[in-house]
Chain A
Amino acid sequence: MDDLREKYLSAIAEAAEETALETLRVQAVGKKGEIKLKMRELGKMTPEERQVAGPKLNALKDEINSALAAKKSALADAALEERLRSEWLDVTLPGRGSARRGGTIHPVSQVTEEVTAIFADMGFAVAEGPQIESDWYNFDALNIPPHHPARQEHDTFFMHRAAEDERPPHVLRTHTSPVQIRAMQAQGAPIRVIAPGRVYRADYDQTHTPMFHQVEGLAIDRDISMAHLKWVLEEFCRAYFEVDKVELRFRASHFPFTEPSAEVDLRCSWQGGQLKVGEGDDWMEILGSGMVHPKVLQAGGIDPAEWQGFAFGLGIDRIAMLKYGIPDLRAFFDSDLRWLRHYGFSALDVPTVQGGLSR
């Protein structure tokens, strides 16, 4: 019986493929295999002989079966190894159809969303208005009567007016302020809105483009003061520039639609062309603001004896340039792919108050 054991174990060890193993299995432990045949002989033995030979044969059968299984799995492992070896690829090749490169969001859109997120947290909704605007909304309603010198300073674009049309020509809105009037007319008081959007002035040089972006802010209630305005702007600048503290300076100025009016300066430093907000000895003018003029409230259908509040306006492109270090305004509107990719934002970088505005 030891011969048998030796014969099969060595044959199994030497088998090179699964078919050979199967043949060995049939020969050894198959129905008519040598071991089975030997087992049949057990019946002819004496009980004593059977007591010895039976367990031995069973043990041999088990041993051969295990050897077969072990060898089978070893052969499968080897085959898989071989397949994997043959499947080697140069994975330094580029990914498939990495096709278009990542898309981008324009800084104007991104910054508009940043501004919106901050003001939304302070309870300001977003109001909108048309860009071709009547001169009443763009000027008269904002206390800029037809002969006011401020009209000349606006570099206004006028729309063509047909000869038989007696109305004054429409204008391309020169600021987002007309949205104040439309929002007040639509909602009444109290009201808190911002109005971001395109505005137009006939000016083109290093720092001016005939189209740019502003955001207007308006808050009207029974007791809103200029001190509230200052706080709101401080909070805005702190959140927008993502610093722990900012310092603003109000300077008396004049806008026809606010009274008192103030230009607002931000404490900052410029070092090596880099802006740092909240420190340093420089003051940078960033926006115009003031308490809404009673005539403007009236134009918006709000009683100035009962309501008061503030308004402000700032340049979106400008604060985008300041925050992200973008040098040239004109490039905003040139759609140079290199610029769009360099200064653009990822689609999933949605600015939020809780997640932060910028990466």
Chain B
Amino acid sequence: MKFTLSWLKDHLETEASLEEITEALTDLGLEVEEVSNPAEMLGAFHLAKVTSAEKHPDADKLKVCQVETAAGPTQIVCGAPNAREGITVVLAKPGTYVPGIDITIQVGKIRGVESHGMMCSEREMELSEEHDGIIELPSGEVGQSFADWLAENDPAKIDPVIEIAITPNRPDALGVQGIARDLAARGLGTLKSRDVAPIQGSFPCPVSVSIDDDTLEQAPVFYGRLIRGVKNGPSPAWLQAALSAIGLRPISFLVDVTNFFTYDRARPLHVFDADKIHGGLRVHRAAGGESLTGLDEKDYTFTPGMTLISDDEGVESIAGVMGGLRTGCTDETVNVFVEAAYFDPIRTAETGRALKINSDARYRFERGIDPAWTPIGLDHATQMILDHAGGEASEVVIAGAVPDTDRAYRLDTDRVQSLVGMEIPAETQRATLSALGFRLEGDMAHVPSWRPDILGEADLVEEVARLASLTKLEGKPLPRPQSGVTRPVATPMQRREGAARRHLAALGYNECVTYSFVDEAAASHFGGGDAPRRLENPISRDLTHMRPSLLPGLLSAAARNQARGFHDLALFEVGPAFLGGEPEEQEIQATGLLVGGTGPRDPHGSRRPVDVFDAKADMEAVLAAIGAPAKTMILRDLPGWYHPGRAGRVGLGPKKTIAIFGELHPRTLEAFDVKGPAVAFTVLPAQVPFPRKTGATRPALQLHDLQSVERDFAFVVDADVPAADVAAAAAGADKALISEVTIFDAFSGEKAEAQMGAGKKSVAFAVRLQPTDKTLTEKEIEAVSEKIVAKVTKATGGALRS
């Protein structure tokens, strides 16, 4: 919402400065977004008088002028055709910034002649586009400030323009008067009454108006009247200036009148050329399929239920949104029909949105204009037309009735203070509401018709608080909920998420935050891409589906980094994946991705390509960090984006997956344009059961003084026997004595088969025996070894390697 200071002062009698006004506006909730004050910019320009002007000795088009300034006579070289003796000019002294040419004036020599300043055109000072010559003022004293001269002689030129942001609850502030009312209530002046006397028409209105019964809800009232014999044409200068100042193009007087009241009183109006109306006007719901060429010369077709205004020829106007081109007023219009109506905000908004029309009228109707002002607005417009375009007004035609907006809410002055936390005397609270137009009856506040946003007691609190000024609010300590040391607040799951994140970073991974939505192909690749997870209105084709996994985002990130020349990557993300389209189908995942080598090449030959065991080790570290049980099983049924032979699913049972790891499928890398090798893992923190809280005490540490014994074994087994099964069998041979089984070698492949036979491999492990009551004898060790061999042989079909 834009307005000029002088426009505001048409409604507000005030001594307040521009700065006081803008500060108050922002504080009141009418946030000032921009103030452009020409006077500030013009402050450095002063009046001067040309005492002589001679032709420049070396240039035909230049003149050497002697100029009388406040600081005495000076010489200026000027190229303007009208530079001549005797004229009063506007001078930019050396050091003055001239905005229109974006130059700070310097003392200089022009074709060998010294020049001490510049005499300006209007364009050079950004006052207008005028640049035929320098400004010649009809009055003014040498040394007078140009801003002061303009203030006295042409105030419109230096009228500050204020632009404020209007929150959706303040349709009343979409008119200058509403803004003035807020300022007056704040104490920045008094609201001027600009009432006009009711106008009695001198003849019956020849245009009839009706509202269909089924349309009264969305168009409850329609006032109109004909003014005959008007003379349309350009608006008077003050009106043109007012509209231009806020960025509206003056069109013709009759149209400008409607724009004026739209901004002056938040009261949209419409003017029809009455001679183009066939029969009466009827306000009705669209049946669907009707069409109209709007004032913007675009064609619109309507869907059922939209509010339309039609005559015998068809649709002539889209109620509250835009008039039709055919019946619009032109310079030739002599009989004008003025419409002042009230249209329902929701219906107007829906229609405007569906037709994609953003008009000043729609903007106001959809936020809610003052219905009570409908007849008064018509009189105001009539008066202005009669004053400037002449003519004769008819009686008013009315269809429907002004809707009753009367309602009242209780003002609880104590509750107001308790909520705001400020001392505001009850009397002040009541006075505030009165100044805003509320009518107080006892402690009931009746809401003014222009405040559709006031719908409860809480709204009264807001009005009192914002007028009292929240800027003055002083903070007051909020006591802790319990006294003493702060209690912990993180949930076990929150701690788990944090542990996973910090641990991954400690392992050398860089945390990424990638978008929750990915493109359809990427989503489909990871088991998503279905309709429930599709966005109805994605912002781009790359971001259409909620991600089923964190991997697509990380893989795309890897591809981007490879394109930038980074080939060894360790990326991770801890965040939500979406298993379906319902709110409860969201789960936290922690995913790591390793690409390329384990690190930079070094002289020790440490670098090697990452492999599945890197992913496994890091996954196990994360699982340990979040407190997963040590005993898990590795299952080999895997989603398709992993290498079928080089990945595993970590389960607490066949169906309870807590993590998954592996080398990514070559097709996955191809789909994301990532150059491998690439391995990844995902941990599902919520799937790991939370241990029962047993207090902070640890079980007692069991230490044995007796020395443990370590023995190595190697078995030849079928190549498809999991090493973990071999180790598990060994561990089960004597649970009391065997404290640990560690696999330290696995030998498979061609060379192994050459030694051990086709389809065979060797698995070697160390067994640690921990006696608890006496040192083991060689014989006892031998006995356990035999048990181990027997157990492993039985469980895996393998044989001790000889």
Partner of A97, one of B422, B557, B606: B606
Chain A positions 198-257 with a Cβ under 8 Å from a chain B Cβ:
198, 200, 202-204, 210-211, 219, 223-234, 248-254
Interface string of A332-353 (1 = CB under 8 A from B): 1111111011001011101000
The chain B residue sitting closest to A146, CB to CB, is B346
Looking at the assembled complex, report how far the CB atom of B688 sits from the nearest CB atom of chain A, in whole angstroms: 18
* B501 x A105 contact (CB < 8 A): yes
Q: Does B456 contact A (CB under 8 A)?
A: yes
| Residues of chain A lying within 8 A (CB to CB) of residue B532 | 159-160, 162
Contact A294 B456 (CB under 8 A): yes
Q: Are A96 and B602 in contact (CB under 8 A)?
A: yes
Of B39-47, B231-239, B460-468, the segment with at least 4 beta carbons within 8 Å of chain A is B460-468
- Cβ-defined contact, A260 with B419, below 8 A: yes
When the two chains form their complex, are residues A130 and B584 in contact, meaning their CB atoms are under 8 A apart?
A: yes
Q: B168–A97 contact, CB under 8 A?
A: no
Known contacts A108-B513, A126-B491; is-contact A153 B168 (Cβ 8 Å): yes
Name the one of A102, A157, A229 contacting B535, with C-beta atoms under 8 angstroms. Answer: A157
Interface flags, A91-109, vs B, CB<8A=1, else 0: 0011111111111111011
- Interface members, chain A 62-116 (any B CB < 8 Å): 93-106, 108-109, 113, 116
- Asked if A120 meets B476 with Cβ closer than 8 Å, knowing A100-B570, A202-B537, the reply is no
Which residues 482-506 of B sit at the A interface, judged by CB distance below 8 A?
Answer: 482, 486-491, 494, 498, 501-506
A291 within 8 A of B: yes
Which of A28-36, A51-59, A131-139 lies at the interface? A131-139
Q: Does A301 contact B (CB under 8 A)?
A: no
Minimal beta-carbon separation of B346 from chain A (angstroms): 4
A204 to B474, CA, bound (A): 38
The answer to whether residues A122 and B480 also contact, given A159-B534, A251-B26 and a CB cut-off of 8 A, is yes
Complex CA–CA separation, A248 to B472 (angstroms): 11
Contact among B475, B503, B508, B546 with A230 in the assembled complex (CB-CB below 8 Å): B475
List which B508-536 residues lie within 8 A (CB) of chain A. 508-517, 531-536
Shortest distance from the beta carbon of A91 to any chain B beta carbon, whole Å: 11
Q: Residue B561 at the A interface, CB < 8 A? A: yes
* Complex CA–CA separation, A225 to B421 (angstroms): 5
Check if A140 is an interface residue, CB within 8 A of chain B: no
Minimal Cβ-Cβ distance residue in B for A165: B532
Q: Return the contact of A308 from the options B419, B586, B599 (Cβ within 8 A).
A: B419
CB within 8 Å of A: which B326-357 residues: 345-346, 349-350, 353
CB < 8 Å neighbour of B28 from A161, A202, A252: A252
Verify B421–A226 contact, CB threshold 8 A.
yes
In the complex, the answer to whether A149 meets B168 with C-beta atoms within 8 Å is yes
* Contact present for A198 and B462 (CB under 8 Å): no
- The distance in angstroms between the C-alpha atoms of A227 and B512, with both chains bound, is 39
The reply to whether B471 and A250 form a contact with Cβ atoms under 8 Å apart is yes
Minimum CB–CB distance for A337 against chain B, Å: 5
Q: How many B residues have CB within 8 A of the partner chain?
A: 107
A155 CA to B466 CA, complexed, in Å: 28
A208–B676 Cα gap in the complex (Å)? 34
Query: Interface residues of A: mostly helix, strand, loop or mixed?
Result: mixed
A251-B476 contact in complex given A124-B489, A198-B576, A337-B569, C-beta closer than 8 Å: no
A40 within 8 A of B: no
A152 interface hit (Cβ, 8 Å):
yes
A286 within 8 A of B: no
Is residue B585 contacting chain A, with contact meaning CB distance below 8 A?
yes
- Taking a contact as CB atoms closer than 8 A, the residue among B465, B494, B543 that contacts A126 in the complex is B494
* The one of B502, B510, B574 that contacts A341, using a Cβ cutoff of 8 Å: B510
Tell me if A250 and B535 are in contact (CB < 8 A).
no
Instruction: Report chain B residues within 8 Å CB of A219.
Output: 478
Cross-chain contact B29 with A253 (CB below 8 angstroms): yes
Residues of chain A within 8 A of B421, CB atoms compared: 225-230
Known: A94-B602, A103-B510, A131-B586. A251 touches B31 (CB 8 A): yes
Residues 556 to 587 of chain B near chain A (Cβ within 8 Å): 557, 560-561, 564, 566, 568-572, 574-576, 578, 581-586
| B residues less than 8 Å from A227 (CB atoms) | 420-422, 473-476
CB contacts (< 8 Å) of A122 on chain B: these are 478, 480
User: How many angstroms from the CA of A162 to the CA of B581 in the assembled complex?
Assistant: 11
Interface size on A (CB < 8 Å)?
101
Determine if B540 is an interface residue (Cβ-Cβ < 8 Å): yes
Q: Which residues of A contact B29 (CB under 8 A)?
A: 251-254
> How many angstroms from the CA of A41 to the CA of B557 in the assembled complex?
95
Is B367 part of the contact surface with A, judged by Cβ < 8 Å? yes
Contact of A159 among B507, B536, B543, B602 (CB under 8 A): B536
Q: Is B699 an interface residue (CB 8 A)?
A: no
Do B486 and A120 touch across chains, with their CB atoms under 8 A apart?
yes
- Find out whether the CB atom of B508 lies under 8 angstroms from the CB atom of A101: yes
The answer to whether B122 has its CB under 8 Å from any CB of chain A is no
Give bound CA distance, A264 to B367, whole Å.
25
Asked if A105 and B516 sit within 8 Å, CB to CB, the answer is no
Query: Judging by beta carbons under 8 Å apart, are A160 and B581 in contact?
Result: yes
CB distance from A298 to the nearest CB of B (A): 11
Q: Does B126 contact A (CB under 8 A)?
A: no
Closest Cβ neighbor of A162 among chain B residues? B531
Besides A99-B508, A132-B585, A204-B539, 13 other A-B contacts (C-beta < 8 A): A100-B508, A122-B480, A131-B586, A160-B534, A200-B516, A202-B537, A230-B473, A250-B471, A260-B420, A308-B418, A333-B513, A338-B566, A340-B512
B residues neighboring A (CB under 8 Å) = 26-29, 31, 167-170, 345-346, 349-350, 353, 366-367, 418-422, 456-459, 461-462, 465-466, 470-471, 473-478, 480-482, 486-491, 494, 498, 501-517, 531-540, 543, 546, 553-554, 557, 560-561, 564, 566, 568-572, 574-576, 578, 581-586, 598-600, 602-604, 606-607
- The 8 A-B pairs at the shortest CB distance, nearest first, are namely A227-B421, A225-B421, A99-B599, A100-B508, A252-B466, A231-B475, A252-B29, A335-B557
- Chain A to chain B contacts (Cβ below 8 Å), 25 pairs: A96-B606, A98-B602, A99-B508, A99-B598, A99-B600, A100-B598, A102-B508, A103-B511, A123-B489, A131-B576, A160-B532, A172-B535, A210-B517, A226-B419, A226-B422, A230-B476, A259-B459, A260-B461, A260-B466, A294-B457, A334-B560, A335-B513, A335-B554, A338-B564, A347-B503
